Amino acid sequence: MTSKRAVLWDLDGVLVDTMEVHFRAWVASMAHFGIDNYTREDFIRTFGMTNRAILPTFFPDATLEEIDAMSEYKEKAFRDLVPGNVHILPGAEAWLKQFKSWGLAQAIASSAPIENIDSLADAMHIRPYFNALVSAYELGSKPSPAVFLKAAEMVGVPPQECMVVEDAPAGIEAASRAGMTCLAVETSHAAALLGRATRVVKNLEHFSLEDARLLLELDGAVA
Give the start-to-end residue ranges of the domains of the chain. Answer: 6-17+87-222, 19-81
The CATH code of the domain at 19-81 is 1.10.150
Rounded CA separation 79/83 (Å): 8
pLDDT of residue 4: 85
* pLDDT, tens digit (0-9, with 9 covering 90-100), for 57-85: 999 999 999 999 999 999 999 999 988 89
Active site residue 10: yes
Rg, C-alpha atoms of the chain: 17
Q: Any residues with CB less than 8 A from the CB of 106 and at least 6 apart, and which?
A: 6, 7, 8, 9, 96, 99, 100, 129, 130, 131, 155
Quick one: pLDDT band at residue 191, thresholds 50, 70, 90? Answer: confident
Bridge partners of residue 8, in order along the sequence: 107, 164
* pLDDT, tens digit (0-9, with 9 covering 90-100), for 98-146: 999 999 999 999 988 899 999 999 999 999 999 999 999 888 888 999 9
pLDDT of residue 8: 98
**For residue 145, cis peptide bond before it (omega within 30 degrees of 0):** no
Selected catalytic residue, list 12, 17, 42, 167: 12
Residue 142 φ then ψ, to 5°? -55, 140
Rounded CA separation 132/6 (Å): 11
* pLDDT, tens digit (0-9, with 9 covering 90-100), for 1-12: 445 899 999 999
User: With 60 as the cut, is the pLDDT of residue 220 above it?
Assistant: no
Bridge partners of residue 109, in order along the sequence: 134
Rounded CA separation 63/13 (Å): 30
pTM: 0.84
pLDDT of residue 222: 56
**Which segments within the chain are labelled E, that is strand?**
6-9, 16-17, 87-88, 105-110, 132-135, 162-166, 181-185, 199-201
Active site residue 12: yes
Bridge partners of residue 106, in order along the sequence: 7
User: With 60 as the cut, is the pLDDT of residue 204 above it?
Assistant: yes
Rounded CA separation 110/41 (Å): 21
Rounded CA separation 122/93 (Å): 14
CATH 3.40.50.10880 fits 6-17+87-222, yes or no: no
Rounded CA separation 139/101 (Å): 31
User: With 50 as the cut, is the pLDDT of residue 175 above it?
Assistant: yes
